[in-house]
Structure 1
Amino acid sequence: MKIIIADDSSFVRSVISRAIGHSMPDAELIFCTNGKEAYDMYTNIKSDWLITDLLMPEMTGQELLSKLNQDGAKVKTLVISADVQKGTKVELEDYDIVKFINKPLTPDKLNELVEILKGEIL
């Protein structure tokens, strides 16, 4: 399974990586620091999952999801963000994301993320 993790925080990428790597050692993790890198990476490798922040430089998570949607991409997506405004969540409904997880990431939220990736809950 290939998973793109797009977040401008190296700390968040590391925390997510450790959680996934511990439970899913065979997963291939691809790290991106912004939406543009994630878009370019997805167009090259067609990952199974995309885990993205919303507030990133160069291309936001919303812009990334919009561009992927325009391309007809069918990547399963988890959004992890501190942006919890109701309007943001409503906007994301158009992109059929699997789950929106609020930051900060707690052990329970990381467990939920891994369970979703493993197909144990949806």
Structure 2
Amino acid sequence: MKIIVADDSSFVRNIIVKSIKTNIENIEIISCVNGKEVWDCWDEHNPKWLVTDLLMPEMTGQELIKKLNDAGKNPNVIVISADIQKGTKEELEALNIKHQINKPLNPEKLQTLIDILGGA
């Protein structure tokens, strides 16, 4: 299974990648620092899941998800973000995201991520 993890924080990205690789076998993870990098490599990798932050430079998570949806890619998305405003949640629901996990990450939230991806 292929997954793209996008977060402009290398610290957060590394925590997510390490947690996934430690707990799920036969997984390929592509790391990106923003939505533009994800968009540029999407067709090459055709991932089953996108795990993304929202607030990133060059292209935000919302812009990326909308662009992927508009292009007919219909991604399975898990948003990991500190932005928990009501308007943001409503916007994400309209974009048909699968799951949202709020930052800061802790062991329980990482386990939720593993459970979602492991059951995929």
TM-score where L is the length of structure 1: 0.95
Shift of 1:104: 0.3
> Which secondary structure state, in structure 2, belongs to the residue aligned with residue 14 of structure 1?
helix
> Which secondary structure state, in structure 2, belongs to the residue aligned with residue 74 of structure 1?
coil
> Which secondary structure state, in structure 2, belongs to the residue aligned with residue 13 of structure 1?
helix
- Structure 2 match to 1:111: 111
What is the CA RMSD across the aligned residues, in angstroms? Answer: 1.0
- Structure 2 match to 1:83: 83
- Structure 1 match to 2:44: 44
- C-alpha separation in 2, matches of 1:64 and 1:16: 19
Segments of structure 1 that go 5 or more residues without pairing to the other structure are none
Shift of 1:74: 2.1
C-alpha offsets along residues 31-73 of structure 1, whole Å, 9 cap, x if unaligned? 0000000111112221010000000000000000010010011
> Which secondary structure state, in structure 2, belongs to the residue aligned with residue 115 of structure 1?
helix
After superposing the two structures, state which structure 1 stretch, 100-109 or 23-32, moved more: 23-32
- C-alpha separation in 2, matches of 1:108 and 1:41: 30
> Which secondary structure state, in structure 1, belongs to the residue aligned with residue 56 of structure 2?
coil
Q: Quick one: which amino acid aligns to residue 63 of structure 1? A: E
* Structure 1 segment 1-122 matched on structure 2, within 5 A: 1-119=1-119
- Equivalenced residues, count: 120
Shift of 1:85: 0.6
- C-alpha separation in 1, matches of 2:99 and 2:41: 21
Calculate percent identity across the aligned residue pairs: 56
Shift of 1:98: 1.1
- C-alpha separation in 1, matches of 2:30 and 2:22: 16
- C-alpha separation in 2, matches of 1:2 and 1:86: 31
TM-score where L is the length of structure 2: 0.96
- C-alpha separation in 2, matches of 1:8 and 1:25: 25
> Which secondary structure state, in structure 1, belongs to the residue aligned with residue 30 of structure 2?
strand
C-alpha offsets along residues 61-105 of structure 1, whole Å, 9 cap, x if unaligned? 000001001001122110000011100010011221111100000
Segments of structure 2 that go 5 or more residues without pairing to the other structure are none
